[in-house]
Amino acid sequence: MLNTDFQKAYQNFYTDNDVAWRMLGAKYKAQNIINVCKSMKPQKVLEVGAGDGSILHFLDQYAFAPEIYALEIAASGVEKIKERKLKSVKEVQVFDGYTIPYPDDSFDLIILAHVLEHVEHERLLIRELKRVAKHLVIEVPRDYKFGVDERINHFLAYGHINMYTPTSIRFLLKSEGLAIIADQTSIITPEVTLFNDYINRNIKKSPIKSLKVKLEYMLKTTIGKLFGKKKQEDLANAYTVLVKKTDEEVKIF
């Protein structure tokens, strides 16, 4: 099923030194997951595409669920997760990107955070997730914006082969027989933006730039509150959604 070249590309992905960057992003991703799942108390959770366990670290700290399992395509990621020795994480495995090695309805919830944009056959993965869990929480970046077709190399450099908006991901999930329970958008915080600029990109620190970033964030947040959900989705950098499987058939014809 999985393109072997695709799998090899991720094998050593987590052997670099970007730990602080991944942990910073994971802090906000974990909070988004908790926010949309506040109506439920999952007992047994699976994270698919768990990376190096950054999100798991925060979910473990927040006592999100007593039992958490993890699957990751990169062996380097699996080793990093094991090294964390997280109390709630019961099992970590390498998988092929599509086949979930658990029986039907094994989990209350599956987490798929910033994974779907990397998946060649997204519907096949979603159907496999539906098989083993009652609920899914999915977060994707909102990459599809003005000028995106002129930045293809930028996104491919990050392995983003699918582009989503809140509307397009809702369409995908609903057409696969999933019902939306809760959702939210999020904007990149100044903390993340400035870390990326000053640390990752090595841009010289500037009080003026820092102030500009903070004011821009405040402006976007305020505009979103004033003009409602549609404007929030237009301004968002990520979309998080909790869905449950239904008895409805897949609607692709």
User: Residue 155 domain-assigned?
Assistant: yes
Q: Which residues of 147-174 are buried (b: 16+ CB within 10 A; e: fewer)?
A: eeeeeeeebeeeebebbbbbeebbebbe
Residue 89 and residue 108 in contact, taking contact as beta carbons nearer than 8 Å: no
User: Residue 118 domain-assigned?
Assistant: yes
Residue 161 and residue 118 in contact, taking contact as beta carbons nearer than 8 Å: yes
- Per the structure block, which two tokens stand in for 54? 């950054």
Percent of the chain predicted with pLDDT > 70: 92
Structural domain including 120 reads 4-186+239-245
pLDDT of residue 172: 96
Q: How many domains does the chain have?
A: 1
Q: CATH number, domain at 125?
A: 3.40.50.150
Residue 11 and residue 74 in contact, taking contact as beta carbons nearer than 8 Å: yes
Amino acid, single-letter form, for residue 114: H
- Helix-helix angle 19-36:54-61, to 10 degrees: 50
Residue 114 is classified by DSSP as S
Distance, in Å, from the CA atom of 61 to the CA atom of 53, rounded to the nearest integer, reads 12
pLDDT in tens, 12-60: 566 666 899 999 999 999 999 999 999 999 999 999 999 999 999 999 9
Longest dimension (CA), the chain: 55
Amino acid, single-letter form, for residue 124: L
250 band by pLDDT with thresholds 50, 70 and 90: confident
- List CB contacts of 196: < 8 A, sequence separation 6 or more: 21
User: Residue 192 domain-assigned?
Assistant: no
Strands in 89-94's sheet, in edge-to-edge order, are 89-94, 67-72, 44-48, 107-113, 133-141, 238-245, 178-186
User: Residue 28 domain-assigned?
Assistant: yes
User: Residue 78 domain-assigned?
Assistant: yes
Q: What is the dihedral of CA 201, 6, 30, 179, to 10 degrees?
A: 130
pLDDT in tens, 94-110: 999 999 999 999 999 99
pLDDT in tens, 175-220: 999 999 999 999 999 999 999 999 999 999 999 999 999 999 999 9
More confident: 253 or 84: 84
